[in-house]
Structure 1
Amino acid sequence: MGHNTRMDQEEETWNQKKQNLIQDLARKIIHGDLDTKIQAAKDIRKLAKSSVKTRSSFAAAGVIQPLVSMLLSSNLDATEAALLALLNLAVRNERNKVRIVASGAVPPLVDLLKFQNGSLRELATAAILTLSASASNKPTIAASGVAPHLVQILSSGSVQGKVDAVTALYNLSTCTENCTPILPAGAVPPLLVLLKECRKYSKFAEKTTALLEILSNHEEGRSAISDTNGGILTLVETIEDGSLISTEHAVGVLLSLCQSCRNKYRELILKEGAIPGLLRLTVEGTTKAQEKARTLLDLLRDTPPQRRLASEVLESIVYDIATRVDGADKAAETAKKLLQDMVHRSMELSMSRLQLRAASCTPSEMPPA
């Protein structure tokens, strides 16, 4: 029992020391000269790492407003020290995120995104990402004109900068109070490049495809997607290799294109060999993805026979067999099994065999549904 009491006393002493240190650093950041403020900001950054409670204690001691004021300093060391301190104060602390934005941090952060100084620009991007995770901050940040600067980072930032910019744009795109789209159509080419280069199964791909789906709801965005070299192919590859979420968004993009102007986009989508991935999605995707894939297949299917492409012939044959064998209800499931069988071999070689099967197949020869 005595051991526990001693431990409790030691913890209390340590907490008191920490509290005194927090108060001391708050005095320095509020009243000190520039050098004192810079050192205090560095110390706040270190100490703020330790716990959510410490971060809250710093906020209660009044350090946020003076740190935000330091972001406006012409001294880059002061700006960087303040930025790093604010980042640590915001991590996993919703109230601090709100306080930082309420203290006027967004305009100086947007200014820092215009900077040529790479490290400060990346830190500002990380700060916008962190602060935009809070729902109540989204309207303020979305209205600040930050989006074009984040889009620029998609092309010119470091790998981490690009990841942070995509995530920040994703956070802002879910801002329900912001009716006007915050994403400029100029975001399309860099987003498609990033999607092409990243692992299609990653969280990053999920956010990138989500942004592309938002952009595909506007004519400018749709044109930018089809005008970008390899853009539609990248979306088709995502449907084939992506996670449940990224495939859902990717098929949503293609559906949006095809619904807006079937004549313009249909051939472009078919040419990239979208049918097999869409067929698989009708069975393996999320409920929304299945629905979107079926709708898109219907839009892609109906064409004059002489203009049908190989992939479309394949798709109609598979559905024809599946419907005759198992009826319309189970057609998608049977089609999936047939398709998996074909994907393992060369599709061109499978074509003639499939056509023969379509003409002569009986239910007993088919795999059980």
Structure 2
Amino acid sequence: MLHSRREMEEEEEETAMLNKEEEEEESTSSNKNTTPRCSIMVEEVANRLRNGDLMAKIEASRDVRRLVRNSSSSSSKSAVRCRLAAAGVIEPLVSMLDCSFSLDAREAALLALLNLAARNQRNKIRIVTSGVVPPLVELLKYQTGNIRELAAAAILSLSSAASNKPTIAASGAAHLLVQILCSGSVQGRVDAVTALYNLSTSEEEPKPVIEAKAVPPLIDLLKECKKYSKFAEKTTFLLEILSDSEEGRIEITNIDGAILSLVETVEDGSSTSMLHAVGALLALCQSNRDKYRTLILKEGAIPGLLRLTAEGTPIAQDRARTLLDLLRESLPDNRLTSSVLERIVYDFAAKVDGSDKAVETAKRLLQDMVQKSMELSLSRIKLRASSCTASK
């Protein structure tokens, strides 16, 4: 199974950033948990970054990492990050990412910036404000070595700050992240998924354009990960976005096991990954009934959808009922007759509530499906009537 150390660290980081107490701690930590000796070392590192020669700058960049990593506790690490930023190390580190510097210098600066950004909302914003995005995009274009994936990790970290997302999305980074998703290491692909997810959840424009060629590696990663994991939630979120385009839908249906992976997520995922997986399946069906619904039925989607109508979030329940209605209407050869549907619903109800309550539960589920079907039929009748009135 797929495991991501960096993803877990990033999720912990995002949780800390959203916590008000953590924000308050950040604002005062530069005055706490730092010894006079540490303060002297911070100032000395900052001076070498501003005024030293190339080798002095590289060594000072490495010292930034050492100062953070050698701190004994989370609060002292936070204090050192704040003190380093206040001493003015961010701007010279960002300038070292320019192509006029050696790869060693850029890698050292990039690692230092990653350490400064970790678990620190203000530093993330300062780093982007200091102009880091254009040189990061250039580093994403490298085809070999560690530098490209370090740049992707930096984009991941910086894109978790809401105010940074529009700037990064406008830079064209998404196209390069998709390239890493297609050809990078496992860790690089995982970081690319999380970065694309962060950018796609922006509440502001512009939103990133994710190319359909992202579908195959996303499906591969979904097959490998636990369907209830946070990573599956991000992957299915992106697949739901891609299912809205014809190119994305074609890619999904051309990949062996893609629809099955979505069906399995509906069955075994978290409430969030279930929501996105059923959303992707519904988008397929609504775009072309004859083409996609048969493919979904072949993968045994009915039991998972029935479960979702009973246990999912309100939006997921509504999507599942709509999809069940579409699947039932479209079946050739009348394979899903009323009696067959009732049997499936009863078997599902027996697993959920036990045989004693199965009849009652099945009756309720069937009533919900009938009610939903009636509502959809009524809305179609109203739509046709309004169309006729308009044409007259």
Tell whether the structures are fold-level matches, with TM greater than 0.5: yes
Contact 1:276 1:339 in 2 (8 A): no
Deviation at residue 284 of structure 1 after TM alignment:
2.1
| Aligned counterpart in structure 2 of residue 285 of structure 1, from 304, 312, 319 | 312
- The residue correspondences of 1:317-328 to structure 2 (distance < 5 A) are 317=339, 319-320=341-342
Q: Deviations over 1:246-277 (max 9, x none)?
A: 11110010011111222221112112221111
SS at match of 1:54: helix
Distance 1:53 1:90 in 2: 13
Structure 2 residue identity aligned to 1:47: L
Percent identity for Structure 1 against Structure 2 = 60
Contact 2:350 2:357 in 1 (8 A): no
| Aligned counterpart in structure 1 of residue 91 of structure 2, from 48, 65, 71 | 65
Distance 1:13 1:276 in 2: 56
Distance 1:13 1:254 in 2: 52
Structure 2 residue identity aligned to 1:201: Y
Distance 1:35 1:288 in 2: 57
Q: Deviations over 1:105-133 (max 9, x none)?
A: 11111111121333111211110000000
Q: Determine if the alignment matches structure 1 residue 267 to structure 2 residue 294.
A: yes
Deviation at residue 340 of structure 1 after TM alignment:
6.2
Distance 2:102 2:168 in 1: 25
Deviation at residue 227 of structure 1 after TM alignment:
2.4
Structure 1 residues 179 and 300, CA gap change in structure 2 (3 angstroms): farther
SS at match of 1:166: helix
The Cα RMSD (Å) is 2.6
Structure 2 residue identity aligned to 1:336: F
Which residue is equivalent to 1:238? 265
Which residue is equivalent to 2:55? 35
Contact 1:318 1:338 in 2 (8 A): no
Which residue is equivalent to 1:215? 242
Q: Determine if the alignment matches structure 1 residue 337 to structure 2 residue 349.
A: yes
Unaligned runs of 5+ in 2: 1-30, 72-76, 362-392
Structure 1 residues 365 and 204, CA gap change in structure 2 (3 angstroms): closer
- The residue correspondences of 1:163-312 to structure 2 (distance < 5 A) are 163-303=190-330, 307-309=333-335, 312=336
Query: Which fold has the larger relative contact order, with Cα–Cα distance below 8 Å and residues 6 or more apart in sequence?
Result: 2
- The residue correspondences of 1:42-81 to structure 2 (distance < 5 A) are 42-49=62-69, 50=71, 51-72=77-98, 73-81=100-108
Distance 1:365 1:137 in 2: 52
Distance 1:44 1:143 in 2: 30
| Aligned counterpart in structure 2 of residue 150 of structure 1, from 168, 177, 194 | 177
Deviation at residue 320 of structure 1 after TM alignment:
3.6
Which residue is equivalent to 2:4? none
SS at match of 2:35: helix
Contact 2:32 2:79 in 1 (8 A): no
Distance 1:296 1:240 in 2: 14
Distance 1:13 1:146 in 2: 37
Structure 1 residues 236 and 365, CA gap change in structure 2 (3 angstroms): closer
Contact 1:319 1:335 in 2 (8 A): no
- The residue correspondences of 1:14-25 to structure 2 (distance < 5 A) are 15-25=35-45
Contact 2:199 2:208 in 1 (8 A): no
SS at match of 2:146: helix
TM score, norm. by length of structure 2: 0.77
Structure 1 residues 217 and 196, CA gap change in structure 2 (3 angstroms): same
Q: Determine if the alignment matches structure 1 residue 83 to structure 2 residue 83.
A: no
Structure 1 residue identity aligned to 2:67: L
Distance 2:92 2:34 in 1: 26
Q: Deviations over 1:58-84 (max 9, x none)?
A: 111111111011111441111111001
Distance 1:366 1:35 in 2: 74
Deviation at residue 180 of structure 1 after TM alignment:
4.9
SS at match of 1:147: helix
Distance 2:196 2:233 in 1: 13
Distance 1:43 1:179 in 2: 37
Distance 1:27 1:119 in 2: 28
Structure 1 residue identity aligned to 2:40: N
Distance 1:103 1:85 in 2: 15
Distance 1:34 1:367 in 2: 77
Contact 2:193 2:234 in 1 (8 A): yes
Is the radius of gyration larger for structure 1 or structure 2? 1
SS at match of 1:302: helix
